[in-house]
Every structure is written in C-alpha cells, then in structure tokens.
Amino acid sequence: MTEPISPSTLQHLSFLAGAPEVEVRRLAEAASWANHPAGTVIFREGDTVNRMWIVVAGKVAIDIVGAERRLHHIQTIVEGELLGWSPVLGTGPMTASARALTDVRCIAIDSDALLAMCEADPRFGFQIMRRVAIAIAGRLHSMRQELLKYYDYVAPTSHL
C-alpha cells in the first residue's frame, strides 16, 4: 500500500506556497510518493511521461543536449520546486533530461488526473497553471543565464 500524501506536506512546498487548503487537498488526490537514488535519470529529453513532480528533498540536475551532442547543465531543482512541466501542458515529449544529484524524494502528480481536475474546475485550473507558468518563467531565466555564459555579453546600462 502506498503512503498517502498529506495536504500539510504539500502546503509546505514553495510550488504551492499560499495555495488554499481546498486546492492542496484536490492536488493530493492525484499525487503519490516517488524516490530516486542519486545518479538516477528520472527522465530523458524526448521521453513521453504522464506525471510531473515536486521535489520534497534532494537535488535534481536539469540538462539539455547541445549541438555537439554534449549535456549542458541548465538548472538545479531543489526542495519545493516543480520538475517536469511538459506533461501538464500537453506539449509533447520532455524538453530536457532530469538526473538525481542526490537521493531525491518527490511527490509525483498524475498529469491526466490533474488536467481533468483543471478542466472540471477552471478556477482551480487557473491557479495550478499559474504556478506552472511561474516555474517555467524561472526555467527560462536560468536558461538565459546559461546562454549568456557562452556569449560575450555586456549588460546594457539603460533601457532604450
């Protein structure tokens, strides 16, 4: 038997900071525990998966394959952060790879169940998708920072 996810566990994660208890309880219905030992590949770029994760403990590397077929580290996901947003958006295969840097304990959320909840309750769906969008914005910022390392970039001193 799988250990249930308590709403209080979810409420303490930064991804759900400030979420009303009713939303957290609904999310818990689609959630289960997942453990990934250090070094485990959680998913690979191009994989199709049916869940997203919220990291409860540990660190996960997000890597992409560059033009020279070499992995490039773009971000480290830590406690409370979202991992694997593509399944919830229905955008197709994973856009990066995820590898456990340490032993990782996650909450896995079934994306099909979550999407059904979002469609059944648009207010709930808006709040969840808003949180996913914030996580994506953070990922894009990290990607931008990594790209700047490869270019001789001087930050503008003023806006045009």
**Nearest Cα residue to 13 out of 44, 52, 39, 50:** 52
Q: Provide the domain count of the chain.
A: 1
Q: Is 158 within a domain? A: no
**Mean pLDDT over all residues of the chain?**
88
**Is 88 domain-assigned?**
yes
Q: What domain range includes position 24?
A: 7-149
| Digit-coded pLDDT (tens) for 28-39 | 989 999 999 999
For residue 105, the domain's CATH number is: 2.60.120.10
Task: Using the predicted structure, report yes or no on whether residue 146 has a pLDDT greater than 70.
Answer: yes
Of the two residues 160 and 101, the one the predictor is more confident about is 101
pLDDT (tens digit, 9 = 90+) per residue, 84-131?
A: 988 888 877 998 999 999 999 999 999 999 999 999 999 999 999 999
Whether residue 1 lies inside any domain: the answer is no
Question: Which whole-number Å values give the CA distances from 151 to 71, 75, 139, 148, 158, in the listed order?
Answer: 18, 18, 19, 5, 20
Residue 159 counted as domain residue: no
Average pLDDT over residues 36-55: 95
Neighbours of 157 (CB within 10 A): 5
Confidence of residue 1 (pLDDT cuts 50, 70, 90): very low
Residue 83 one-letter amino acid = L
Whether the predicted pLDDT of 48 surpasses 90: yes
The enclosing H or E element of 101 equals none
